[in-house]
């Protein structure tokens, strides 16, 4: 069976966008929503014996031992696997940049770092429809694929419990060490308030995780299963599709 290289969206919050751009983040954890009955068995790419939409995809296999024999539960990874690509979706704004006598330039502005990209001519109509609604920020989920400025290649994929994260992993998630006022050392991200500093990277990560996932029922204390995606930043692949 032909190996298919997949391109999947990956939403990032502004702090994680900044950490990725600064090469301080090369891991991300996402809630695992598949069948976890039994024991985790392996990360694999299945080529037969499953519905067509699950074939030739990376995913996680759990094995449940039953009196009649083991039952295996396969969950495809929404983030691909080694060799696949991810394009980051982040908060954005449509904006008309005043060029003086040359008129206005259509741009997509990214609030994470106030950088921007020009809008290709073939998307002027799309942009004009968005711009009519105002310059307010748009959720990351609505950033079109062609406007993604951050592309990643998946280097590793695994499944584990959230609280299995190590100090090294937390730093790879974008958590950094800071020297705060009075010379005290703490851990956090560029966007966390000083009062939210923690004494280790895992503590800072758990705080940030709860800000994003706690209200959805996947808080740190629940210790959910998570996908762990390791990645590296790359240029947009020449083979990338526009949509």
pTM to 2 decimal places: 0.88
Mean pLDDT within 165-186:
82
In this model, does residue 194 exceed pLDDT 60? Answer: no
In this model, does residue 117 exceed pLDDT 70? Answer: yes
58 in Cβ contact with 65 (< 8 Å): no
Mean pLDDT within 171-186:
77
Would you give the DSSP letter of residue 173?
T
CATH topology of domain 7-87+150-234: Sulfate adenylyltransferase (3.10.400)
Residue 122 burial (CB < 10 Å; 0-12/13-18/19+)? exposed
Of 99, 100, 107, 110, nearest in space to 123 by CA: 107
**What pLDDT is attached to residue 154?**
98
Residues of the chain with CATH 3.10.400: 7-87+150-234
Confidence category of residue 68, pLDDT binned at 50, 70, 90: confident
Mean pLDDT within 103-121:
93
User: From the CB of residue 123, how many other CB atoms can be counted at a distance below 10 Å?
Assistant: 16
Helix (H, G, I), strand (E, B) or coil at 179: strand
Spell out the residues 6+ positions from residue 129 whose beta carbon is closer than 8 angstroms to its own.
none
**What pLDDT is attached to residue 243?**
62
**What pLDDT is attached to residue 140?**
95
- What pLDDT digit, counting tens, does each position of 29-56 carry? 999 999 999 999 999 987 777 777 777 7
Mean pLDDT, all residues of the chain: 88
Distance CA 150, CA 232 (A): 10
**What pLDDT is attached to residue 180?**
66
In this model, does residue 213 exceed pLDDT 80? Answer: yes
85 to 170, 230, 242: CA distances (angstroms)? 22, 11, 14
Q: Which two tokens stand for residue 38?
A: 């039994």
Confidence category of residue 193, pLDDT binned at 50, 70, 90: very low
């Amino acid at each position: 069976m032909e190996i298919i290289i997949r391109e999947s969206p990956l939403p990032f919050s502004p702090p994680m966008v900044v950490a990725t751009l600064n090469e301080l983040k090369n891991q991300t954890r996402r809630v695992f929503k598949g069948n976890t009955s039994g024991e985790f068995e392996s990360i694999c790419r299945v080529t037969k014996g499953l519905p067509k939409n699950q074939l030739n995809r990376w995913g996680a296999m759990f094995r449940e031992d039953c009196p009649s024999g083991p039952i295996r539960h396969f969950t495809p990874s929404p983030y691909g696997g080694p060799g696949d690509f991810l394009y980051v979706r982040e908060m954005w704004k449509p904006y008309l940049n005043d060029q003086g006598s040359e008129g206005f330039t259509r741009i997509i502005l990214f609030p994470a770092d106030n950088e921007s990209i020009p809008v290709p001519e073939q998307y002027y109509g799309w942009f004009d429809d968005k711009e009519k609604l105002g310059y307010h920020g748009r959720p990351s989920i609505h950033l079109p694929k062609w406007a993604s400025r951050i592309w990643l290649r998946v280097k590793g994929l695994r499944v584990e419990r959230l609280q299995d994260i190590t100090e090294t992993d937390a730093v790879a998630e974008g958590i950094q060490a800071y020297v705060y006022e009075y010379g005290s050392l703490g851990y956090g991200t560029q966007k966390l308030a000083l009062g939210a500093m923690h004494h280790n990277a895992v503590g800072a990560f758990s705080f940030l995780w709860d800000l994003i996932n706690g209200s959805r029922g996947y808080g740190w204390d629940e210790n959910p299963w998570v996908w762990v995606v390791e990645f590296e930043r790359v240029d947009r692949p020449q083979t990338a599709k526009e949509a």
